[in-house]
Chain A
Amino acid sequence: MAAKLLNFFVTGTRKNFLKQYLIPPARNYSQRQTENSGWKQRQHRAKSTLYYVSAAGVLAVGMSYAAVPLYRIFCQAYSYGGTTGTVTDEKSIEKLQKKDRIIKVRFNADIGASMQWNFKPQQTEINVVPGETALAFYTAENPTDRPVIGISTYNVVPFEAGQYFNKIQCFCFEEQMLNPHEQVDMPVFFYIDPEFTEDPKMELVDTLTLSYTFFEARQGLKLPVPTFAKH
């Protein structure tokens, strides 16, 4: 019965090829032992191959699921691709060594499309030495007649230098409210990690640009705030 089905589906030379695996040979009492064992061996090998291949497939699918948290752990441990590690030790600020290289930090201020504040940096650039804490100011003014709540995010260019830029205190990621016609100074207290000078990729980098953008805080506004942000 099975043989008839097979004859129907399989054609040509494949028929003969598959037959040796699928169709048990006819029982011939004189040659039974040798032929049967040969067929059983082939079937056994075919089954083993099938099991190995399906196991490899399951392993590949499992690896692709496991890769997501593993990659994240790897990136955090080795600061690969700009991700910074977990919160640095507070005491490490005390032990900062000042290096000799002067880095120019430029400041840039932007606002979101519907944001009506006037937001600008008070200084265009500051010459900073890695390992030394620095203070910079931005000014925001609310020219409207109603209080406006803003929330800001920041960006550091060049990309690879972003991991060395540590902010001690600033005004980002928290909602800041400005009363009508009010102007405030917003400071940023930061330092550049001394390991900046030891990074070969940063050898030619002499200018960093810190760019802040203010958005109006509304319900459902989602900024790329890191999951471990303090609020």
Chain B
Amino acid sequence: MSSMTFGQKTFTPTPPEKGSFPLDHEGRCKSSMLRYMICLQEKNNDNSQCRKEAKDYLNCRMENYLMAKEEWSKLGFSEVDVNAEESNKK
């Protein structure tokens, strides 16, 4: 199907930078995921306001060995997000 686009520009998919997420067969991070989805629904699908929940989900993955541990800055979570979360916890 994609080989019949003669002369048209074809889309070349690229692999993800950190590879593939291992599947969460046991559903260990399902609660974090549900919290993230609820946040998205409440904030009208705005990603900027749900950074904390996204960070929680990735944290859950890292702790359950479903994701390689990375520094938050390498994943795009700046110091501002980390500090905001800590101040919220207090």
Contacts and interface: CB of A to CB of B under 8 A. Distances in A.
A169 interface: yes
6 contacts: A127-B44, A134-B54, A162-B11, A173-B20, A177-B23, A182-B25
A166 B75 CA distance: 12
Interface string B33-62: 100110010001111100100100110010
B9 interface: yes
A59 interface: no
A16 B44 CA distance: 89
B65 interface: no
A129 B47 contact: yes
B78 to A, nearest CB: 9
A94 B78 CA distance: 8
Contacts of B13: 153-155, 172-173, 224-226
B9 A169 contact: no
Given A88-B17, A154-B13, A171-B21, 20 more contacts: A81-B9, A84-B12, A93-B74, A94-B73, A123-B40, A126-B45, A127-B46, A127-B48, A132-B51, A133-B76, A137-B37, A169-B17, A174-B19, A184-B24, A184-B27, A185-B29, A185-B30, A189-B21, A191-B76, A224-B13
B85 to A, nearest CB: 15
B47 A184 contact: no
A163 to B, nearest CB: 9
Given A82-B9, A184-B25, A169 B16 contact: yes
A184 B11 contact: no
Given A134-B54, A176-B23, A83 B12 contact: yes
Contact of B48 (A123, A132, A179): A132
A159 to B, nearest CB: 6
B54 A135 contact: yes
A164 to B, nearest CB: 11
A208 to B, nearest CB: 13
Contacts of B15: 167, 172-173, 225-226, 228-230
A230 B16 CA distance: 9
Nearest to B53: A135
Interface residues of B, number: 40
Interface of A: 81-84, 87-88, 90-91, 93-94, 96, 122-129, 132-135, 137, 153-156, 159, 162, 166-174, 176-179, 182, 184-187, 189, 191, 224-226, 228-230
A132 B21 CA distance: 20
A20 B16 CA distance: 71
A230 B47 contact: no
A171 B11 contact: no
B17 A167 contact: yes
Contacts of B10: 82
B87 to A, nearest CB: 20
Q: Which of A124, A189, A228 has the most CB of B within 10 A?
A: A189
B80 to A, nearest CB: 10
